[in-house]
Copies of this chain bind each other. A is one copy, B any other.
Amino acid sequence: MAGIEVLRLGHRIERDKRLTTHVGLAARAFGASKLYYSGDQDKTVEASIAKVVEDWGGEFEAVYVGDWRRLLKDKHGEGYLLIHLTMYGLPIQNIIDEVRRLHREKNILVVVGGEKVERAAYMMADYNVSVTSQPHSEVSALAVFLDWLQEGRELEKTYADAKKIIIPSARGKTVKRRG
Contacts and interface: CB of A to CB of B under 8 A. Distances in A.
B132 A155 contact: yes
A22 B90 contact: no
A163 to B, nearest CB: 13
A177 to B, nearest CB: 14
Interface residues of A, number: 55
Number of identical monomers bound together in the oligomeric complex: 2
Contacts of A16: 18
Contacts of A127: 170
Contacts of A179: none
A160 interface: no
Interface in A8-37: 15-16, 18-19, 22, 25-26, 28-30
A142 B22 CA distance: 13
Contact of A132 (B29, B137, B144): B29
Interface in A84-131: 87-93, 122-123, 125, 127-128, 130-131
A70 interface: no
B88 A173 contact: yes
A168 interface: yes
